[in-house]
Amino acid sequence: MPNIVQLDTMAVRVTYEEFDRGVVMTENVYKVIELVGTSSESWEKATAAAINRASKTLRDLRVAEVVKLDVQIKNGKVEAYRSRISVSFKYESGK
């Protein structure tokens, strides 16, 4: 099973597509978190693992941006591919 690490930050994030479609309104706020997914096979699968896991507990995921790619090495061989991603989702006020 992939390992996921969550690092919280708060930001306002808007995609260009949302802005162009007129979806963006001043009261929209998005939460941005960083996740690290791992895979023994590839960076793509590490990225997908992080997004798939996040989608099980977070609603309304909007954008994922790959921030950093690296590998874990053991005995001179790649043991795991790691993908750090920044994921945004619409922040709910709790009303």
Cβ atoms within 10 Å, residue 81: 21
Which pLDDT belongs to residue 36? 97
Taking alpha carbons only, the member of 36, 95, 31 closest to residue 59 is 31
Quote the DSSP letter at residue 19. Answer: H
Task: Calculate mean pLDDT across residues 36-62.
Answer: 94
Task: Calculate mean pLDDT across residues 41-56.
Answer: 96
Q: What is the pTM (predicted TM-score) of this model?
A: 0.67
Which pLDDT belongs to residue 80? 97
Which pLDDT belongs to residue 92? 74
Q: Give the mean pLDDT of the chain.
A: 81
Q: Which residues pair with 72 in a beta bridge?
A: 80
Q: Enter the tokens of residue 63.
A: 């954008």
Taking alpha carbons only, the member of 72, 86, 92, 88 closest to residue 5 is 86
Class of domain 5-90: alpha beta
